[in-house]
Amino acid sequence: MITLWHNPRCSKSRQTLALIQNAGGPVTIRKYLEDAPSAAEINDALRALGGIGAIDMMRTGEKMFRELGLSRSDSPEILIAAMAAHPILIERPIAFGRGRAVIGRPPENVKDLV
């Protein structure tokens, strides 16, 4: 079973979902902009992503990143709190399965999970 943090307006997210569905894998979709993950869930995601830095899971080019005055040098706690409060900052899509996760950029990254 794959869980996908999905934004249907994002082409990469749609491509990733299609790749999972075409592989025949069952998928649970979480529209993370509507159902924002908590700070604890973001921490869990970071661990599942192999312990990447919080900044590596963020959309640093997003307007909200600048509006909040965030920077690449901010502490992980500040960045995680920002993602929990403003899920638009979370890089998309993120697929979870088999005890780990991958960011679907490019969408082919999910092939190891299906």
pLDDT digits (tens, 9 = 90+) for 85-97: 999 999 999 999 9
CATH number of the domain at 2-112, please?
3.40.30.10
Minimum mean pLDDT range among 14-18, 42-46, 101-105, 108-112:
108-112
pLDDT score recorded for residue 45: 98
Q: In whole angstroms, what is the distance from residue 23 CA to residue 40 CA? A: 30
10 is catalytic: yes
- Judged against a pLDDT cut of 90, whether residue 51 lies above it is answered with no
Stronger pLDDT, 25 or 114, i.e. the higher one: 114
pLDDT score recorded for residue 112: 84
Pick the catalytic residue from 10, 39, 68, 114.
Answer: 10
E-strand ranges in the chain read 2-5, 27-30, 94-97, 100-103
What average pLDDT score do residues 101-106 get?
A: 95
